[in-house]
Chains A and B, each alone.
Chain A
Amino acid sequence: MSLLDVIGPVMVGPSSSHTAGACRLALLARHALGAEPRRARFTLHGSFAKTARGHGTDLALVAGTLGAFPDDPLIPRALEEAAARGLDVDFATADLGDVHPNSVRAVLEGDDERVAVTGSSLGGGLVRVFEVDGFRIDFSGSHPTLLLRHLDTPGVIARVARVIADDDVNIATLVSARRKRGGDAMMSIEIDRPLTKPARDYLQHLRYVTWLRELPEVMQGPDAAPGDVDGTPAAAGAAS
């Protein structure tokens, strides 16, 4: 946990885990979708399910789906904004199993795409995504992250790692998951800086890569640029 994660984030209240963390999880889901979301269904687990409204978790999830960072004054009026932008939202609660008490599954749909992202808000605004489209991967949003869906053939991981290395980019973590041997698989790769476009295009066009997304780092966001105080007024008034 970096120093400015402990003394931070700068955020719209009321809860770092239920508001800021929820916003970041939804923001990651939006980038995993890679298109403008038209429908969003959130399934809340544990403490998220019990206290979602009280902590503005619902508002934060919708705001993140709309592309907002945790300090965005849009958060308190996210539901109105979603309606204005033609985003359908829907909330449910369920037991997602033996996972962190603050967990949520976000299923986002665009015009042609659909993605299911499940993650937890760990406290202080830190998050962890542990499942995408049924694959058990793992990333934290604190690095740019590649999500790759591919066929499980020998040498894929080495090949992908090679492309990243040739782009002069360090890999921080790499998690790979497959449904069955030789079947469909997914990798999450946290990298130290975003890939260049040629490298990304190259990965995208590898024969066995069927789907690729590059998610931005979401921990810093617009709020944490050093010395940043832009005098943005607080989101006005109460939410309800």
Chain B
Amino acid sequence: MTLADLAAAPGPASELVLAEEAATPVERARLLEGLRGRLREMRASIDRGLVSDAKSRTGMVGWNAKTLWNAEDALRAPLLQRVQAYAMAVNEENARMGRIVAAPTAGSAGTLPGALLGVADHLGLDEDRLLGPLALAGGIGQVISQSMFIAGSTGGCQAEIGSSAAMAAAAVTEAMGGDAAASVHAAAMALMNTIGLVCDPVGGYVEVPCVSRNAFYSVHAVASAQLALAGVTSPIPPDEVVLAMASVGRLLPPELRETGEGGIADTPTGRRIALEMAR
């Protein structure tokens, strides 16, 4: 399966993903139930994260989702507030060793539920309408994983949060009624504008910048869906965008691949925190 195949699907792109994965009606029903289970686990992690202010292992994060959720909506942008709060809720649960759904990884677990459930709740879409989009998100991740390992330690954060943003962009586009081409182009545009993102967690903890980064890239995914739904497309074919990301991943030095030795991790304060935590 390629992104070109997905974009050319006659109906919603998720139908092709489901058909590839489930050969019989029984398998399909099982798969959809599996996806429903994942969606509910995502929901549960959001619900827990929005009300908790328990600190993470290092104390760097843990209260941001709740703070945003309870804050006055200064910009009168309830969708923005909801999407960001949901995304951080999941990643703060993750950082305090709570139970989450990796999508595709734990560090990037907030982006997809933030964008998809954030938009769904904002507009009142029900759960049944989200199963296809969730399958499509998985299909986009499958295609990316054919070109590179989806891990910050091999491809940088573009491989983790870049992938999650592309998956989320496609999912939101399909949930809003976008056709197969629009959904895949939403993914491609999200990816194209994440290329180069390095993995630089302070002290090696999946907390800073990871928690706020999920908030930002869930919004990035929604923004990409908005462009795609309006008919904006990626001039570079989506499969070529994936290859470009994979090649940038290979060019990244080890310091920028989850070793906690570059970028934000390598600031004076980042290094101090790492030292304090190592004690």
State the A residues within 8 Å of B (CB).
1-4, 6-17, 19-20, 46-47, 50-51, 53-56, 59, 71, 73, 75-76, 100-102, 122-125, 224-229, 231-232, 234-235, 237-240
Contact = CB atoms under 8 A, between A and B. Distances in A.
A50 B149 CA distance: 20
Contacts of B112: 7
Contacts of A73: 99
B33 interface: yes
Interface in B130-188: 134-135, 137-139, 141-142, 145, 149-154, 159, 167
What size tier do the contact residues of chain B reach?
A: 35 or more
A51 B259 contact: yes
B96 interface: yes
B106 A235 contact: no
A82 to B, nearest CB: 16
12 contacts: A3-B135, A4-B34, A4-B138, A10-B99, A14-B94, A15-B105, A16-B107, A50-B204, A124-B151, A227-B36, A229-B40, A235-B99
A9 B36 CA distance: 13
Contacts of A54: 57-58, 201, 203-206, 260, 277
Contacts of B205: 14, 51, 54-55
A1 B142 contact: yes
Contact of A13 (B44, B100, B104, B278): B100
B138 A6 contact: yes
B80 interface: no
B151 A17 contact: yes
A14 B107 contact: yes
Contacts of B96: 13, 237-239
B30 interface: yes
Given A54-B206, A101-B154, A228-B37, A123 B54 contact: no
A123 B36 contact: no
B151 to A, nearest CB: 3
Contacts of B151: 17, 102, 122-124
Most buried by A among B21, B41, B99, B278: B99
B153 A238 contact: no
Contact of A7 (B58, B94, B137): B137
A78 B29 CA distance: 36
Interface string B247-259: 0000000100111
Nearest to B18: A3
A189 B137 CA distance: 32
Contact of A101 (B48, B94, B135, B257): B257
Interface in B48-106: 48, 54-58, 62, 93-106
A8 B102 contact: yes
B18 to A, nearest CB: 8
A16 B102 contact: yes
B271 interface: no
Contacts of A10: 37-38, 41, 99-102
Nearest to A21: B151
Contacts of A229: 37, 40-41, 44
A232 B98 CA distance: 11
Contact of A51 (B56, B145, B258): B258
A20 B106 contact: yes
Interface string B17-53: 1000100000000110111111011001100100000
Nearest to A228: B37
